[in-house]
Structure 1
Amino acid sequence: MMDSQENAIEMGKKEEVNKMEETAVPTAEATDQTELSQVENTQEETTETPDKETERKVYTSKKEVLERIREIAHSDEAPQKDEIDQLKTAFYKIHITERDAALKSYIDGGGDPENYQLVPDDEEEAFKAEMTIIKEKRTKIFKEQEAEKEENLKKKLDIIEKIKAMATSPEDANKSYQEFKALQQEWKEIKNVPATRANELWRNYQLYVEQYYDLLKLNSEAREYDFKKNLEQKIRICEAAEKLADEEDLISAFHQLQKLHAEYREIGPVAKELREEIWIRFKAASTVINKRHQQHFENLRSKEEENLARKTALCEKAKAIAAEENKGSGDWERHTKEIIAIQAEWKTIGFAPQKMNVKIFERFRATCDDFFGRKAEYFKTLKDTFKENADKKRALVEKAKALQDSTEWKSTSDKLMALQKEWKTIGMVPKKLGDQLWEEFLGACNRFFEARNAANAGQRSEEHANLEKKRGVIEKLKALKEEPGDNTQEAVQKLVEEYNAIGHVPYKEKDKLYEEYHAIIDKIYKELNISVARRRLNNFKNKLKNVAEQGENALDNERARLVRQYEAIRSEVQTYENNLGFLNASSKKGNSLIDEMNRKVQKLKDDMNLVREKIKAIDAENK
């Protein structure tokens, strides 16, 4: 994000460069006296170069700059453009540095860049107020200078008319020489005139001065002395102009050359045969400076075109980044760093051409503003979500704290585990706040579970003892399966009762023990039911003869009793099977109950088969 004050500084510098270009002296292609007058007139319109003391002045604080601005604004001193531009640049350079340092300090302290507010600067407001006074002061001076130029124009036109009259009166030339010299001195003392009349004015003045000298009939010694004196002064000016070729500061050399042209213009003519020679020498020295000055601005323009191309590329790059999708905070922060890096690179690039400088900046700023505007809106929405999530987590913290001292171990454990599951479903909150809430929530949960663990320490020892007892019962069941006896069923029943009488075992061992126990029980009951049923059927067949001897109706009565027993068992089986359809086997406890009922159903079915075989045996005996 480019600051408007920084942009103003750039534009101010740019205007100064453009003005330098506009005031540049003509190139070496100029060939006549008119060219010299044009160069000299340019000097009249150009702001004086600041003195060396001003150029060397370095300002280290806005207060120093403000003091100097106030001094200029409230004194009779005429404001110099170069110094004013220097003061403006120095002030905003320090101002921007201080502002960037304040922003960096705010961000390093954990602040959100989008919420940063610029604090009004009293020194900046005071600086702007003084600059307004200076602007009004310069406007007033400009108007006074324009009025003075018009007055100077009238005076110089009057002098030209007087010299013209002298140049057209040969008989009075010698007599008017002193008056002529006085008019020349007066001409020198009159300064700037309107730029639109300067060339014509100088051309006419030079024409009639030379005509007057050509007509002047002084004695040869006076005339030669005058020419010699003028030649010496022009030679000195030529040497000074030639020395400027070694000046490193091209702008300073250009301004110094303008002063030399102004001085050259005020010097009278030299001997007619030397006039062209001395002028060619001075023009040659001027051409060297002009070419260097022109090349300087050509290089500047070339650099500006290069800067425009670089800034255009940065605009495209920033636009591409701004157009990328941001799926979350991480993407926004990554793209923000990329945009800020592009902005930093932008600041290292100099001015673009004047016509495009503002346009390219506005294009770049629009892209940045759009990106940061959308980012601000995203984080505003995100903050609302964070607040909602934080409120939900605070509510869970309060619930956990309310349960942390409970001694209802089972129900409270279930409640806290439900709170932990709910916690996981809540979205993100800012890291610092999230860590704080999590520590409070976890602390409440840990407090309860540590108390529960301490209270259940003895219970766990008992559970391990129960585990060993139940394993011992399982081993006895395995031994009975391998070596069954006549009282196997009775022994199995006692072991089952013993197993069920043993208390809880460790939770982690519960399922494994359950599967091992019921596996051996199922095998024993299956084998035991078959063998018992077979033995019972044989015993029943052996007793049938004794029943038959009791009377002819004895077998029928026994058969009717068995049929009723069969129907009763079948009804009981049907009832069990119906009940099984309503049981929920989603829990371990539910599974255990279903397995037990299935075993009972199977035993009843085995009994049904035994009764059916007994009925078949009676029917066989009746035959």
Structure 2
Amino acid sequence: MNTKNNLENEKQPLNEDQSVNNLSENVQEVQEEVKPEAIETEQVVEEVPVEETTEPLSETEPVIEETTKPVVEAEPVVEEAAEPLVEAEPVTEEKSEPVAESEPVAEEATEPLDKPESEIDYHLEDANDDDSEEEEDEDEEIDENSVSEESGSTLMSIEEIVKQLRSLFEKETLQRKHVEEYKNQFYRSLRNEIESQKHVFTADGGEEIDFVANEPEIYTEGKELLLKIKEKRAELVAKEDELKEKNVARKLSIINQIKLLTETQGHEDFNKTYQDFKALQQEWSEIKLVPQSKVNELWKSYQRYVEKFYDLVRINNEFREYDFKKNLELKTDLSEAAERLNDETDVVSAFHQLQNLHQEWREIGPVSRKDREVIWDRFKAASTVINKKYQEHFEELRDKEDENLELKTAICEKLEAIDYTKIKSIKDWNRNVKEVLELQSQWRKIGYVPRKWNTKIYKRYRAACDLFFKNKNDYYKSLRGEMDDNLKKKIELCERAEALKDSTDWKKTTQEFIEIQRQWKTIGIIPRKYVDSVWKRFITACDYFFEQKKLNTSSRYEEENNNLLTKRDIVEQIKKIDPALKEDDALAQLHDLMAKWQGVGYVPYKMKDVSYHEFYEATEAQFDRLNVNKADRKLESFKSNITDMAKSGNAKNQLYFEREKLMRQFDRMKNELQTYENNIGFLSISSKKGNHLLDDMNQKVEKIKSELQLIVKKVEAIDAEL
């Protein structure tokens, strides 16, 4: 929601008929409107003026709180329970003039802030800000993964770190930035200790895979202190929540008392009533923390009865004019203070100071009508300057972090893209280890990423590295034994399939074949030279059974005959495409008919090849007439085959086999292309013979590239069917 919309919401009048008695019933609605998860760190707080029967006496202005996300509601939402205390002072109403009016709300209150993401922690929290405790993720894990790898601060000794943690634990209050600082220091020190032990271990001739870290007792104490600190902070939060609920009850009591004052005003001495009212306002202002979800409704009810009090009580004009003058002086001072913030070099500090000024502004009562818009515009203009600087500051940080995220994501993708099936020798592994170590070095040089991505991207990076080194270690342990075992298992499955393929117990045997195929998928790789032969043996037995099952279903046989007639009719339509049609129109009609042919179901098995041959001859004739290149024809023909294959009883296995065959062909041709390109680099173009060979090789290179593109399209066609 942008700031302009927020201000428009401020102009909406509150319903006079609402009463404090329905406050509890409306809490659920408020919770749905002001969602806690939408307010993760700091909030943009804007007020809604209350409209009186004549004119409201109090005034409300938008108050900008520290924020990283826009607030959903226009009503103030402050975790510190800084309640909008807009005290409307007593005035005497004249017959020709309303009591007062709400503060004019400008078209724009403050610059809309595209706030930095709530998860980004720049350690900018005010040490005295109660909001900082609530804004934390209470489920935050105290472990190494939750701590940033990089830190700009100087690393302290582990003894000093543990000393600081002990001191921190003994304090009555715990500030998040202090906890984060020493937690980061602790895990940096721990990682350094482990790396040092590992270096000594490997330097003494040990294998990295055999290394086991020996954690010193002081690190164990540090971890225990961090856990205790976390538990202590959880207790503090629980106590604070209990206090908030008590404060809600107190504020409801104040609202009821103000309501009672408005209902009994005519029966008591006004001076006493007014003093009671001021005392209630003072008590309200002293109550700070309340649950986030109840701030909005409490404020509405409180403001409604404050306004009603001033509307019902005839206050002397001298009180009114005195309050207006006093409030104007206070608001002028705040405007000047806001303007001076433009000279503040620390943008974040200036923004925090501005929030304090806005809090003071909303606690000051109204000013006279003639001064109202002028003083608000002045204060708003000064606020806009500071908010704009604050927004630009965080946009710069966010852009840099987004760049860092892209760099780290690229490293993860490179690690994940390693094809372990191509690493066949120790030499290959050594080359890849060198590349991975270089990527790790690059990772350590990259700065922060957005906080919400910090753990995710690190886990992704760690998982990719762990997988690489695990595979490397496994390679040295076992090279051949596993593949030989897998070959034996697949041969056994082939024998089982061949023994079942002639069975006529269709239902039972079908389930057995499905189980055999499931087991086949769970078996790992086998020696390369046996891959094709074993697979063909297995798939032949499976296909034979399912084809026999299909032929023995009479209704399906009749349907297949009808499909054959339909396909032949489509072939005749292809042959009779009007030669007078434009080339594009004719080609579109041809593709449409081809799609229809491919969409027809099965034909009798013995007629499958005949039907396809008729279709192929008809389409080839039209492609020749329309001058369609060979590559496109091959692709269309291949797609037709794939469509038919996808309808078979064992579609997935056939498609996977075809895809695997294409990928092997792709690898072979890619290696061939690389060989030609390398040879081109050695040819001398200074002689006629060199030129002739160069031209010949260039032609071969282009042909191979074209074939590679066709293979890619074929693989994409298979993937679309899987």
TM (normalized to structure 2)?
0.43
Which entry has the higher C-alpha Rg, 1 or 2?
1
